[in-house]
Amino acid sequence: MKTTKHVRLARCLSLFGVLLALVVMLLGAWTRLVDAGLGCPDWPGCYGKLVVPDDATALAHSPHVPLDPGKAWAEMFHRYMAGVLGLLVLGLTFLAWRARSVAGYPWRTSAVLLLAILLQGAFGAFTVTLKLWPQVVVLHLLGGLGVTLLFLWLYLSLRRIDARARGGYRLSRPGALWLIAIGLLVLQIALGGWTSSNYAGIACHGVPTCNGQWWPTMDWSEGFNLTQTIGPNYLYGQLHAEARTAIQVAHRLGAIALGLVMLLLTVRYWHRRVLRPYLTLLSGIYALQLGLGIANVLLWLPLDLALAHTAGAVLLALVMTMTVWRATSLPQSCSSSMNENAAETSGLGGVLTLVSRRQHRKLRYETQRPWLPEGTDQ
């Protein structure tokens, strides 16, 4: 099947979308880190205007919220870039409709991406109107990450159209270890957002101990109270010291758990040569993230390191997605032979005596190397 111009354009735009979504996420993190999340007290405008107004206009609109032009422009620039990202998603949705006749076109991914960007816009509005309520701030962070990964998934799916035309690849389900790693990564990123939105980044002084203790006094129930009151201004946080300490310790424990699972993944799948570059990169980014986290604590959360820590988390999620994609890509020829063999053996109660021991070993060896097309030798 010849790839249409709509598919080629969608592939380029989806890759651009990954980069643009990453920029938007970093702008959001920068806005939060410079305490500009409420630089504009309303949404989608700023003091009722589409651009940052002068002092007199701002005073007339919101007398009790003084205008800080620097913070207001930081917030509005983030919104402008998010708007461009929304237009890009609309364009990809239009291309999906135009290419609906192309076999294998990932129109479902395009539809989910459209839904995700709409939800992300709502979370952005709630972030302002609910005055940085930590729950919605974390959802906004996860929503941004979801949009970024959907752009990547769409790009990979569009590339697969050519592979299918050449008798290429299909996706299998990831194994349990991959699912555990993905779940822990999402949880750790959510914990990072919870740490930041509750201003618990430097609740612990020192590494590896916290305030000179291995297990300091902590208030877990308050630190992870998901029913915090809606209404107060959560700029700079509302929690007491013991609750923030619990959040920081939880984030550290999450990093340890994620590191152990990633080590297991590396050991388990290192025999697959095609995965080694991905696993090496994944481990390297994790090590970098660990170093950035330690440096943020020791250096009292400098802006550049805090922003780099956010970028590292997104990059880790992107590489994890690409690794899972590569690990679950099966050549059609290999998958077909596996299905045929399964059908034969299931018809006789799963008895493997239909094939010789040597043939059985060969089949097992091939299924352990699903990334290699037939006739390819390492």
Active-site residue list: 75
The CA distance from 283 to 319, in Å, is: 10
Q: List the structure tokens of 153.
A: 């998934």
C-beta contacts of 238-245 below 8 A and 24+ residues apart? 238/198, 239/198, 239/199, 239/200, 241/203, 242/217, 242/218, 243/198, 243/218, 243/219, 244/198, 244/199, 244/200, 244/203, 245/200, 245/203, 245/204, 245/210, 245/211, 245/216, 245/217, 245/218, 245/219
Task: Name the residue among 261, 249, 262, 263 with its Cα closest to residue 293.
Answer: 249
Residue found by looking up tokens 């596996």 in the block: 338
The CA distance from 345 to 355, in Å, is: 10
* Sequence-ordered list of residues with C-beta below 8 angstroms from that of 280, at least 6 positions apart, any chain: none
Q: Are 201 and 195 in contact (CB under 8 A)?
A: yes
The CA distance from 338 to 124, in Å, is: 47
CA distances from 311 to 9, 48, 133, 199, 278 (A): 27, 32, 23, 18, 18
Task: Name the residue among 318, 309, 310 with its Cα closest to residue 281.
Answer: 318
Q: Are 142 and 186 in contact (CB under 8 A)?
A: yes
Note the helical H segments in the chain: 5-33, 55-61, 69-98, 107-129, 134-165, 176-197, 220-223, 241-269, 276-298, 303-327, 332-347, 357-367
DSSP string over 104-160: T--HHHHHHHHHHHHHHHHHHHHHHHTTS-HHHHHHHHHHHHHHHHHHHHHHHHHHH
Q: List the structure tokens of 323.
A: 């690794």
Q: List the structure tokens of 85.
A: 């990202």
